[in-house]
Each structure stands twice: as C-alpha cells, then as structure tokens.
Structure 1
Amino acid sequence: MRSRDLAWWQTGVIYQIYPRSFQDTNGDGIGDLAGITARLDHLVDLGVDAIWISPIYASPMADFGYDVSDYCGIDPAFGTLADFDALIAAAHARELRVILDYVPNHSSDQHPWFVESRSSRGSSKRDWFVWRDPKPDGSPPNNWLSEFGGPAWTFDEATGQYYYHAYLKEQPDLNWRNPEVQSAMLDALRFWLKRGVDGFRVDAIHHLFEDEQLRDNPPNPDWQAGMSPARSVIRAHTMDQPEVHDAIAAMRRVSDAYADRVLIGEAYLPIDRLMAYYGQDLSGFHLPFNFHLLSTPWNPTAIASLIEAYEAALPPGGWPNWVLGNHDRSRLVSRLGAEQARIAALLLLTLRGTPTIYQGEEIGMADVPIPPDCVQDPWEKNVPGLGLGRDPVRTPIPWSQERNWGFTEGEPWLPVESALPGLNVAAQSQDSTSLLSFYRTLLRLRRAEPALSAGDITIVEASDSVLAYERSDTDRRLLVALNFRSEAATVRVGNATRILASSYPDLAGTPLQAPSLELRRNEGIVIELA
C-alpha cells in the first residue's frame, strides 16, 4: 500500500501531552492550554503529526480531569474555550492535528447529571447512572471492586441505594444502556468536532458496560499480596462486555460525519479480544490502542513473536499501532535504561503502523521519586505502599536551565526532574548526539521513507541479541537491526548499500559492502538495501 493512499493517522506520529505538566504560562504551577500553544514549535521541530491532549474539561480534579463535570467546558486551570480555539488554530496553521481525550465511562459526582440523579429515586436522571438496592444485609450488590481500591459501590444515605463506580467514588459510571445518556454523550463529541478537533482518544472503553445481572466476579487464583487489590478478582463481568461494540459503532458514526477524523480506543486486552474493537467491517475504532510492547519481555525473540502475532490477528484492512509509554506506565528510561531507550525509540518509529510518543520520552525523562508529602495521585493515596502511583511519570517537562527548568514561574504541582545534566529540551536541541536529536532524525527519516510508514514488515532475524526486520514499499527496501545487549553482536545485512540512521550518530551515511555488520553494544541502525 502506498503512503499517498493512506489517511493522515496511518502515516503520522501521535504525541501525547499531559497538559498539567507540559507548560505553565500563568504561574500557578499547572500547565495550561496557552502553554501548549507556546510550545507547538517544539513539536514541529520534533517532527510529529498530531497531539493527543489528556483531559482539559471542567473537573473537580479528584482524578485530575478524568472526573468530568462539564463535557463541553474547559477547566479554568487550563484556560478558556477561547484559549482552546486559539490552540486549534495555531496547531492547524502548523499542520498539526489535535486529538482530545473523551471520557465516556464515568462523569464526576459533581456533574449536574449526577447531582440530579442522586436527588431522589424518582429523578428524571436516576437511570443515567447505575443504581442498585443493597443486599438484604445492607452490603453492596456484589463483589465488584474499584480499580483504585475498595468496593466499586458507594451507598447513598439519602436514597438508600448504591451507585457503581469502576474507579473513584467521585467518578460514578454512566449508564450507556439508557438512550438519553448515549445521545447526550454523542452530542459532546459533536460539540468538539464542530470546533475543529481531529479525533478522540476514548478512555477506558472496555469498562463502558457491566453485566446486567450483576453477577459476582470470580476470584483470581494468580493474585498475591503486593498486587493491586482490584486484581484479586477476574473482571469477567465488569469489563469487555458485548454491548460495548454497539456503543463504539455509534461513536464512529458521529466521527464519520466529519471529514478526516480518527477514533482511538484505550483497552488493555489480549490481542484476540482487542481485535474486536476494530468493529465489524471496521465500523469501530480506527486504532484500538496496542499496549502489548509495554508488557512483553524486552528481548528480540519475545518482541518478534509479538509483532508476528499482532500482525496476523489484524482484521482485513485493520491498521496497526504501537505504544511504548503513556501517563499511566513507568517511563522508558526507568524500565530499560538510557542506552536501550534509543533502541526503543528506533523500534517504535520503524514498526508498521501508527506510533504514539509520550511527552518527555524524546529527552529521556525518567520516573521521578515523589516524596510522601507531595503525592497527588488518588490511586497511590487509596492503595499506598504498592508502587501503583502514577505521579512519577507525570512530572513536568524540563525545558531549559532557567528557574523551575522553564516549566513555570510558580511552584510546580509535581517536582521537576533536574538531577541529570543536559536533561532538558534547550540543552539537547544544541547537542547533535542527544536523544532529542536522535528522535528528530528518526522522525525525519520516517517522513522521507514511505517504506517506514506504509510498507510491509518481515522479521529477518530474532536471536538472543538481535532483532532485525525488513520494511518494504514497491521498489524500496530498508533493514532495521537492533542490538538488545550490552556487548557487540553481528547481523547479516545482505545487499546493503548504506546506513541511513544509527543510534551511534557517527555511522549515519556510512556506505556498506560486506554481507554482515557488527553492531556495537545497544546499537540500532536503519540500512538501505539494494
């Protein structure tokens, strides 16, 4: 398939922005929309094609924006609708697309819908949320557990019923079986599409429906102390229910009414179950997020097996995508080390499909230790001591060596990483050997070589040390070779002509004639084949 036949979201690269930690412009220590607008040129220089912005809606911030009190409003911490419109205009002027987070599973308990719903059992919006009677002994309706710790049911004294929340008690689940709820939530999509957004990343979609019979979840025989309490049961009746696909199809119909939009779904599921989220005849998500690189062992054979299994499972016409980091998972440098972070970048940006980069990965940010008195994440507060908190991966970007590393004139809402010299955008922009320069090189190469964005992929080698695969498009063939070890390894390169990119900058452009090449420790290369 030629790249000119593909949509922008197939050939492009997506960059996730966690707005609280991107750039603050008003001195309150929290990133804002004006800050994103001010830093757009960094993203243009980086070479990405779209930005996905985590929630910016009006919210009490119990879960930092994932508890929405107005689906069509901007929280004052981030700015105004006028600021949003200015961001859209500035991004589009730079040929950057804008993707918003969409949170359909739950609202805030302060949303007017829920305030009305809990006012009485006879409320016109009572059925907009999931209310159930207690068991005869007064206990919750079943054994369902919150993802953030404790029961997934909270008792409302005034009306004598429990309401369901897959996450915090401040995040009551919407009842998507109610047509009025579905209509109101689809209208929220239309509101932002009319304002010019280019698509949505749909949050926690696999939680959208629960078992209507309220059956207990079975115990998890593999659970042990130290794991999240929510994993003590298998979420057979609270996740990935069949009705979700009709709801996704309804979202897709709304999206398709506007030209050139994309829908991306967040669902942590095994590959075989994930494929259903493309929808029957591709009527579902354009891109159900593929998170499997986050959990696959970091070695060539395991990753090669994943690539082949994922590619084989895709439905006809389904487009692949890859993720190596986000606002919920430990950062690449902390998981793999600084040297392998370059291998990870090269892998992510040369696999077939749409890659997503999490903010700060391009400069090698690591997880930042958070002192107990600075913890913000409600998950860590609810279930302390297990290392479940996400604050360490959500810390502000260090832009320069100025006060507070150029992020804010005030007190940052989370500590800014400042331990490593050169760990900021300004310093790495001036260093041709930096990780940021390497990302820029890879993104330029990806844009210049259709084989990397649209070509076929074939695994060539997967040994204990080396993963090599070929990317090809019509008459263009490229070989990607990655050394996962801290010692040299040899890879066969066949009829190679020259090195197009290397994690060791001194090799770029080197002509090749030998049938094999020695990769240095933790080295990755892209080679042109005759």
Structure 2
Amino acid sequence: MTQEWWKNAVIYQIYPKSFLDTNGDGVGDLNGIDRKLDYLKKLGIDALWISPVYLSPQIDNGYDIADYRKIDPMFGSNTDMKKLISDAHNHGIKVIMDLVANHTSDQSLWFKESQKSRDNYFSDFYIWKDPQKDGSEPNNWGSNFGGSAWTYCEERQQYYLHYYGKQQPDLNWENPKVRQAIYDVMRYWKAHGVDGWRMDVITSISKNQDFPNNDNPHGLKYVVGNQNNGPRMHEFIHEMNQEVLEPFHMMSVGEAPDSKSKDTRSLVDPTRKELNMVFTFEHMHVDRKPGSVNGRWAIQPANIVELKRILFDWQKNLEGHGWNALYFENHDRARTPSRWGNDKEYRYESATAFATVLHGLKGTPFVYQGEEIGMTNPEFNLDDYEDIELTTNYKKLVENEKTISSKDFLKAARKISRDNARTPMQWNDKLNAGFTSGKPWFKLNPNYPSVNVDKDLSSSKSVFKYYQKLIRLRHTNDILEFGDAKLLMPDDKDIFAYTRQYKNQK
C-alpha cells in the first residue's frame, strides 16, 4: 500500500460502548472489537476508526476526555489497546483513533489546575474572560448543547468558554504549550502503532480573539453562530501537519461542521499540507427546515434533489484539489433507512440503494457499525434517550423557549437524534442481541430478533453481502478510485443517477 492507502480504502467506524461487551458489565470493550476482527476482515474493510476510548466521565459519551494517554477502564487497558492495534495489523486492518483537540473534560488535570489561579503553568490552557460590568457573560455566544457557551468559575472569578457542555471547556490554541501538548499526545499513540486520526470539530480550534457578539436575528439571549473556521485555523492545522501528520505518515480526516466545498479546498489541497479529508455536514441538512429557531429539530422530508446537488458540488469542487470523505451514518447521525428511506416495507432496498449512491462516488467511503446489516432507528419514547444534546435542547426549546411542542420534538428525535446510532450492535436473536450477557448500558432496538448479523448473513436479501460486493468493486476497479463523476438528471426527484469515467472506461 502507498502512503495514500486511504484513497483506495473503505473505513469502518466503531462506537466501542455499543459494539461488543466481553466481560458482562453491559458496556462494549476493546476485547470485543478484537474478537470481531475476523468479521470485519470478511466484510472487506481496510481500517477501523474507533470513537474515543480515553479516560472520561462520559458526559458526552467519551468526547469529554480527562486523560488522553489512558484508556478508560470501562473499555479495558492500554495493554488491550496495544494488542488490538497489533491484531488489527495482523489482519491487514489499520487503526484510526479519535482526537478531540478542541476541548477536554473539566475533570482533566489541565483544567483542574487551570481553574485554581491566573498564574500557574496551566492557567492559559483554556479560554478565560472577565465578566462584563453587570456580571454577565463576556458575549452572547451559545453552546451547541443549549444555553450559554460561558460558565462562571468562582475560584478564578472568571468565565470559561465551552462550545459544547459546560463540562467540556475549550482549549486555548493561541497558547503554544497547548498545541505542543496535543502533538505530544498524537506522538504517544503513534508510538503504539496508530495509523491516523479522525479529528473532532477540528475547524473550531481557532477563536476570534475579539470575541464579538454573534448576529442575532431572532433576539435570543444566546446565539450559536458560525463559531468555526477562526482566523488562525489553517495556521494551526498546518503546524499540526508539519509536527506530526507528515513526519509520521498519519492519515487525517477532520470534522468540519460549517464547511462548504469551495472553502474546504484550502483544508484538503495536498499542496497546503493540512488534512487529507474532511467530514462535511452540508448534505446531512437536507431534511432540516432552513432558518428555523429550532435548528436541527425542525425537520422536513429529505430533499433528494438537494442531496444530489450537494454531493456533486463536493465531487466537482474537490476534483484536482483534494479528496472526499463519503458518509451517511456515524455516531452522530441516525440510521439512513429510517431517516431518508422506508425502514418498514423496504429496509433492504433503502439500505442498499443509499449504499450504492455513496460507494459509487469518488472518495473514501466510511461505514458505521450496523450500517452493513441495515440497522434502523429504534423509535424510543423521550424518557429512553440519553444524549446530552437531546436532553439540553429539549429543556431549551420545549420547556424554556416553547418554540416546539413535545410531540414534534419527539417526532424529530425519532428521525435524527444521535442516540439512534448508539443502540447496541445486533449480532443475533439471543439475549441482548448477543451484545452482552449483562445489563446493556443503553436500550436495544426492539427489532433485533429480525435484524441482526446472523439473520442477515443467512438471508437471500443480505445487506452485508451487498456491502461486501461494493467494497470488492472499489478494491478491484480503478474507475471507482480515479474516475470522474458526472451527475445525470439533477432535477429528477425519484432517480439518483450518475456516471464514472476513467481513461476509456465508463
């Protein structure tokens, strides 16, 4: 494989908590991933992206890291991680870890020290601001999880910034010591054999140092504006590339929430030496009502014409300037057959149709655990959901601002909540779908007796076998890696068709 192995690869994302539990505590673990390497090899994937397994209070399911160098005991040990990397490599599978470099947990040693005083080594590891004269927050910035993006700390008599939960303080990337601390973490895991990084909200790391108020057309107290793509973002990411990514030949894919195809060129153009790929959110908003104060909870039927336009906008604008990361599902996205298809009468057809659309495009396809057997949304009641994003937004939108009814919020949650993707993996029709012998950390989808790996593998309409074929095609046809993509019938609401052309092949 060349250093650009990722261009001909299919990458499988694992959400460890929900993959496979081997010790009966109800939480998936690293040994569970290790145990299923033969299954993953059979599917044909080239690399695993493993969601965070570091020590964490789990306020945001591990995206709140307390210690970057320590595996959380709920998942196993550092030794287990080393073994998993080694065993994966023996299967010809690379390992990509999840890097959360925009923020840490408030339980991190860095933050615990930082909040003690304004003049210790860690004081400037986070973003601290004095209150305004009336004691209020430094500006009107809102958290993505609802409420203010600022929390007051009595000890320092200052506010600290958090784009997400108040337990997830944002790091101060203006401080070179912070940047070097992050690069050291990356070198540490490279020494353990890690092959690359998926980078959580990496385009948020640079903040406008003037901290201006966000535009506020709705007159809200706190506004989640475009808080990404700050003035030094490219500089910081280029520095990371030169310090770690390029010298150690590490693959990188960054989460870029506000990215559009044209401005993403400057992030992924190989000549600029920043990232290999980014995850855009743009195509995941085709079922969102534009301009609503309820944001992603204001849903509408998916606009397939718009989906086609966005996907091919990215194909066209990155051609010759960078590489696409292709996905429909991940730990933050609901199950596609339920969200955009028909998961009752046409589950197999919905799963395979969307898979065909995605895997035929130019770029690197990502498969999320369970996607390869057509897993669906569970249709829970509100009390069953656990996600901090859902619970805080319910409080904000339904209880406080009353801009959406409880009924409509639930309808949206059943379509797009992040928890839809986090139910335990469905291996068989036995106790707890074969996920655990104990009490699962999260409710199972009640349809597991009919939708599971064992059943799918023996079915004449096997989603798994369809994915196997798609992955094999990508590995054996240069046209899928190198060919141009051209959209046909862009305005047709029912047909999604395109051609791929390479040399004299079409």
User: TM-score scaled to structure 2, two decimals?
Assistant: 0.87
Counterpart secondary structure, 1:16: strand
1:173, 1:355 → 2: CA distance? 30
Counterpart secondary structure, 1:476: coil
- What does residue 525 of structure 1 align with? none
State whether structure 2 residue 310 is matched by structure 1 residue 306.
yes
Q: Which protein is bigger by CA-based radius of gyration?
A: 1
- What does residue 180 of structure 2 align with? 183
1:400, 1:420 → 2: CA distance? 7
- What does residue 130 of structure 1 align with? 127
Counterpart secondary structure, 1:471: strand
1:121, 1:370 → 2: CA distance? 46
- What does residue 38 of structure 2 align with? 41
Q: Which has the higher contact order (CA 8 A, sep 6+)?
A: 2
State whether structure 2 residue 458 is matched by structure 1 residue 430.
yes
State whether structure 2 residue 149 is matched by structure 1 residue 152.
yes
Counterpart secondary structure, 1:459: strand
1:280, 1:142 → 2: CA distance? 37
State whether structure 2 residue 351 is matched by structure 1 residue 341.
yes
Q: Evaluate the alpha carbon distance shift between residue 154 and residue 416 of structure 1 in structure 2; reply closer, same or farther with a 3 A threshold.
A: same
Q: Alignment identity in percent?
A: 39
1:286, distance to aligned residue in structure 2 (A): 0.2
1:419, distance to aligned residue in structure 2 (A): 2.0
Equivalent residues in 2 for 1:15-26 (5 A)? Answer: 15-26=12-23
1:195, 1:134 → 2: CA distance? 44
| Range that drifts further, 332-341 or 94-103 | 332-341
Counterpart secondary structure, 2:456: helix
Letter matched to residue 503 of structure 2: T
| Range that drifts further, 429-438 or 123-132 | 429-438
1:426, distance to aligned residue in structure 2 (A): 1.0
Letter matched to residue 418 of structure 1: P
Counterpart secondary structure, 1:266: strand
Q: Evaluate the alpha carbon distance shift between residue 330 and residue 81 of structure 1 in structure 2; reply closer, same or farther with a 3 A threshold.
A: same
Any stretches of 5+ residues in structure 1 without a counterpart? 224-228, 478-530
2:312, 2:256 → 1: CA distance? 20
| Range that drifts further, 123-132 or 445-454 | 445-454
- What does residue 72 of structure 1 align with? 69
1:81, 1:418 → 2: CA distance? 34
| Corresponding residue to 1:399 among 396, 405, 427 | 427
| Range that drifts further, 279-288 or 359-368 | 279-288
2:497, 2:134 → 1: CA distance? 61
State whether structure 2 residue 360 is matched by structure 1 residue 350.
yes
Letter matched to residue 351 of structure 2: A
Letter matched to residue 90 of structure 1: D
1:198, distance to aligned residue in structure 2 (A): 0.9
- What does residue 245 of structure 1 align with? 234
1:406, 1:118 → 2: CA distance? 44
1:312, 1:466 → 2: CA distance? 20
1:459, 1:471 → 2: CA distance? 9
- What does residue 499 of structure 2 align with? 470
State whether structure 2 residue 252 is matched by structure 1 residue 272.
no
1:461, 1:397 → 2: CA distance? 37
Letter matched to residue 457 of structure 1: A
2:217, 2:330 → 1: CA distance? 27
Q: Over the residues paired in the alignment, what is the CA RMSD in angstroms?
A: 2.1
Q: Is the 8 A contact 1:391 1:414 kept in 2?
A: no
| Corresponding residue to 1:330 among 334, 339, 345 | 334
| Range that drifts further, 199-208 or 338-347 | 338-347
- What does residue 450 of structure 1 align with? 478
- What does residue 257 of structure 1 align with? 247
1:327, distance to aligned residue in structure 2 (A): 1.1
Counterpart secondary structure, 1:197: coil
Counterpart secondary structure, 1:458: strand
Letter matched to residue 253 of structure 2: I
Q: Is the 8 A contact 2:19 2:32 kept in 1?
A: yes
1:374, distance to aligned residue in structure 2 (A): 3.9
| Corresponding residue to 1:380 among 385, 390, 394 | 390
1:280, distance to aligned residue in structure 2 (A): 7.7
Q: Evaluate the alpha carbon distance shift between residue 292 and residue 159 of structure 1 in structure 2; reply closer, same or farther with a 3 A threshold.
A: closer
1:311, distance to aligned residue in structure 2 (A): 2.5
1:299, 1:63 → 2: CA distance? 30
Q: Evaluate the alpha carbon distance shift between residue 279 and residue 447 of structure 1 in structure 2; reply closer, same or farther with a 3 A threshold.
A: closer
1:82, 1:14 → 2: CA distance? 24
Q: Is the 8 A contact 1:218 1:234 kept in 2?
A: no
| Range that drifts further, 446-455 or 173-182 | 446-455
- What does residue 294 of structure 1 align with? 284
2:418, 2:281 → 1: CA distance? 17
1:394, 1:300 → 2: CA distance? 25
